[in-house]
Amino acid sequence: MSDKLTAAKKRLGKLRKQINQHNHRYYVLDDPLISDGEYDRLFREFLDLEEKFPQLITPDSPSGRVGGKALAEFGQVNHRFPMLSLENSFSDSGIRDFEGRLKRFLPESAEFSYVAEPKLDGLAVEIIYEKGLLTLGSTRGDGKIGEDVTSHIRTINTIPLRLRSNDVPDYLEVRGEVFLTIEGFRQLNEHRAAAEEPLFANPRNAAAGSLRQLDSKITAQRPLQFFPYGISDPSLLNSNNQREALDFLGRLGFKINPLVHLCKDINAVVDYFHVLQKQRHELDYEIDGMVVKVNSFSLQKRLGSKARSPRWALACKFPASQATTRLLDVEFNVGRTGAITPVAVLEPVALEGVTVSRATLHNGDEIKRKGLRLGDRVLVQRAGDVIPEVIQPIIDLRNGSEEEIRMPSVCPECGHELLRKSGEAILRCPNPHCPAQRLRSLIHFTGKAGMDIEGLGKKAMEQLFDAKLVNDIPDIYQLVKSDLLPLEGWADKSADNAILAIANSRKTTLARFLGALGIRFIGEVTAALLENQFKTFDQLMRAGEDDFLDVEGIGGQSATSLCQYFADPAVQEMLRRLFDIGLHFTTSDSGRKQQPLAGKNFLFTGRLPGFSRNEAKARVRELGGQVASSLSKKVTHLVAGEKAGGKLKKARDMELIILNEEEFKGLIEGE
């Protein structure tokens, strides 16, 4: 045996063992150890080796079957026609190569047309109807034998128990995907957390775990949904193609995915692949790619199938949005209000085409709830341009060297003892002179949500702070051109523009200035309410808690925060310096009568767990704001929820004010 053959045999043996193990964890136990992207890489390497060395293919090769074995607790169901998996593509060229293979197999055929649809991240099932009545439902299992989950299938509202037409074959096998919406997944995990049960890692595992409960009553309590993607035997229909078959299923009472798209040629398929990739984070369910099928049933029949996949279909996979990597360290960042935020330092990993090395951990309670340890292999998730998040540790991969993550007792920037108020999950540094808080307060003051001083963005303020040219807010107004020119990246024009912008910002409104100060619980809406109530800034500074509480929309937290802020001698000195420099306010009677969000235009992207989209829009309109339907120069604020899409990146490029859900809630509730 040659050295190459020996090495290939050894590598295949190792890969075979790994893939079989991961198949068992994924399909049988619903508890995967690695991400889909990592599994795909292993499987592609395995298939490539088998293709190069066909003499090494064994009877137990993973390439000879699809999925995993049926669970012993369920009755077994033999599929009349195998439920095959699909060959994968990961690029535009892979999609075009697909058509090349079709034309080599059927060189005499005319041009192909295709049907493309989202590839749902759910659980494939087959549902059998006899004389229009649902009689059997089963999982895919190993492709030939599945699990009988009929009683569970019956609980899914989007699956008709009786077909809504008499024009139906006596025996019909419908195939499709059972899945959970993102909102349904969130609710399910909230209930499990409240019951102190382990959380599901993602909607796919939640759907699989829900459908394979021994007690179908539990399944009925979970918001499962279903989209059909075809039938097992097209010859039973009068339809000639895939598009017509889906339309027929729609008439029978099934909910058809509205994103199913007829493509006239392969170029249209590639174009739609990019359309879906951009839309994926706007959807209320998870998709991990696109499925493309030759539309014509007669061509599908002629093309046939290979050992594990049909020749006439292809799964076009998106870059992975989840991956596993190692948690190397935890850093603790200090915000402008003193909040301590733990940030995971990760072994770099590719997610959606971006290398990720840091992820949010939210707070100490979240770390404890997830049971994270330093050195853990962890599952991380990234959606669109939102900061990555650590989902859970992979406990089965621990080797005993992992260490407990300890929250700090003193501020990592100034050494001051940290405090945690009753009822709050966040540690805070109470030192108002903490350098980290000062820097972030300065960045907020000059930024879009503050005074909006052109040329003094985040990087510029970090540079000025490090150079000790700006230590507090009044220092900004003492800057001169000669201070800026020696610094890297500054030239005559940029320095002139910045100095002019600083001078122009001396004249502002009381509301903008209040919002720029970064007082805790005082955002744009609260600042506007205060401007409408108090005639002068001096009157505002002398007000007591009762005076603030008399303002409709001002709550106890805001009132207390204002009093504490203006009572601080250091704040009083800072304000005196600003007024000596020439800061002054312009107001008008008409301005006082405006609602807090008047003149502001909001666009929403992603999902807000605490609001329905209509509710969020209604609150903006109630407060005098406008709601946009698309990104344009008129938009002033982008509210980015979970799984925000490409709008978030464009908004950053346009330097719009970007709010997460918590910030948006604070804005409309006056906190």
HEC string for 134-168? EEEEEECCCCCEEEECHHHHCCCCCCCCECCCCCC
Q: What is the largest CA-CA distance in the chain?
A: 93
The two three-digit tokens of residue 557, written as one number: 């937290």
What's the rounded mean pLDDT across residues 56-85? Answer: 72
C-beta of residue 42 within 8 angstroms of C-beta of residue 183: no
Q: Which of 1, 88, 12 is nearest to 46 (CA)?
A: 12
User: Tens digit of pLDDT for each residue in 247-291?
Assistant: 999 999 899 999 999 999 999 999 999 999 888 878 888 898 999
- The span from the CA of 118 to the CA of 423, in Å, is 43
Model pLDDT, residue 322 = 81
- Least confident segment among 194-203, 392-401, 507-516: 194-203
> What is the model's pLDDT at position 531?
85
In this model, does residue 246 exceed pLDDT 70?
yes
- More confidently predicted of 453 and 352: 453
Specify the amino acid at residue 582: G
Percent of the chain with pLDDT over 90: 44
**85-106: average pLDDT:** 91
Using CA atoms, how far apart are residues 551 and 557, in angstroms rounded to an integer? 13
| Res. 386: pLDDT tops 70 | no
Residues 6+ apart with CB under 8 A from 35: 320, 322, 323, 324, 379
How far apart (Å, rounded) are the C-alpha atoms in residues 281 and 645?
Answer: 5
- For the chain, give every domain's residue range: 3-64, 76-317, 322-404, 435-588, 601-669
- Among 58-62, 482-486, 552-556, 643-647, where is mean pLDDT lowest? 58-62
Q: Tell me the pLDDT tens digit for each residue of 119-174.
A: 998 899 999 999 999 999 999 988 889 989 988 898 888 888 888 888 889 999 99
Based on the number of CB atoms within 10 Å of its own CB, is 176 exposed (0-12), middle (13-18) or buried (19 or more)?
buried
**Is 14 considered catalytic here?**
no
- Sign of the alpha-carbon torsion through 369, 375, 377, 380: positive
On whether the pTM is more than 0.75, the answer is no
Place of tokens 């990760």: 346
Residue in this structure with the two tokens 């051109």, named with its chain if needed = 481
Q: What is the pLDDT of residues 188-243, one digit of tens each?
A: 887 777 776 777 777 888 888 888 777 777 787 888 999 999 999 998 888 899 99
Query: What pLDDT does residue 591 have?
Result: 42
Which pLDDT band, with edges at 50, 70 and 90, does 353 fall under? low
588, pLDDT greater than 60: no
Q: Which of the four CATH numbers 3.40.50.620, 1.10.3720.10, 1.10.150.20, 1.10.287.110 does domain 435-588 have?
A: 1.10.150.20
- Beta bridge pairs of residue 181: 285
Looking at domain 76-317, its CATH architecture is: 2-Layer Sandwich (3.30)
Mean pLDDT of 562-577: 93
pLDDT of 563 higher than 70? yes
Q: Which residue has the higher pLDDT, 122 or 525?
A: 122
Mean pLDDT of 327-346: 93
Does position 17 have pLDDT exceeding 60, yes or no?
yes
What pLDDT does 70 receive? 47
How large is the average pLDDT for residues 36-40? 78
User: Tell me, what's the pLDDT at 434?
Assistant: 93
Q: What is the mean pLDDT of residues 463-482?
A: 95
| 629 closest CA partner among 612, 647, 611, 641 | 647
Distances (CA, A) of 60 to 16, 149, 419: 9, 27, 59
pLDDT band at 611 (very low <50, low <70, confident <90, very high): confident
- The residue-averaged pLDDT of 324-333 equals 94
Question: Do the Cβ atoms of 549 and 526 come closer than 8 Å?
Answer: no
Angle, helices 266-279/92-105, rounded to nearest 10 degrees: 150
407 near 427, Cβ under 8 Å? yes
List C-alpha distances in Å: 296 to 100, 235, 303, 652, 666: 17, 12, 11, 44, 54
pLDDT of residue 44: 83
Report the helix count and the strand count for the chain, using DSSP H and E: 26, 24
Residues 8 and 176: their CA atoms lie apart, in Å, by: 38
Q: Which pLDDT band, with edges at 50, 70 and 90, does 60 fall under?
A: low
Q: Residue 576: count other Cβ atoms within 10 Å of its Cβ.
A: 11
Residue 630 has pLDDT above 80, yes or no: no
Q: Among 311, 569, 292, which residue's Cα sits nearest to residue 432?
A: 569
Picking from 125, 118, 183, the residue whose alpha carbon sits closest to that of residue 154 is 125
Q: How far apart are CA 153 and CA 220, in angstroms?
A: 9
Q: How far is it, in rounded angstroms, from Cα 429 to Cα 616?
A: 32
Give kind and range of the element (H or E) at residue 286.
none
Catalytic residue among 4, 9, 10, 119: 119
> What's the pLDDT band for 587 if we cut at 50, 70, 90?
low
CATH number of 601-669: 3.40.50.10190
For residue 65, the model assigns a pLDDT of 46
CATH 1.10.287.610 for the 3-64 domain, yes or no: yes
- Average per-residue pLDDT in the chain? 86
Predicted local confidence at residue 354, as pLDDT? 74
CATH 2.40.50.140 fits 322-404, yes or no: yes
Looking at residue 449, what DSSP letter applies? Answer: T
**Distance of alpha carbon 591 from the chain centroid:** 39
What pLDDT does 444 receive?
92
Q: Is the pLDDT at 67 greater than 50, yes or no?
A: no
Instruction: Give the pLDDT confidence score for residue 29 in this predicted structure.
Output: 59
Is the alpha carbon torsion for 472, 473, 474, 478 positive or negative?
Answer: positive
Kindly tell me the burial class for residue 93, based on how many C-beta atoms sit within 10 Å of its own C-beta (0-12, 13-18, 19 or more): exposed
Q: What is the mean pLDDT of residues 593-618?
A: 77
Q: Which residue has the higher pLDDT, 405 or 165?
A: 405
Q: Which residues contact 443 (CB under 8 A, 6 or more apart)?
A: 336, 458, 461, 462
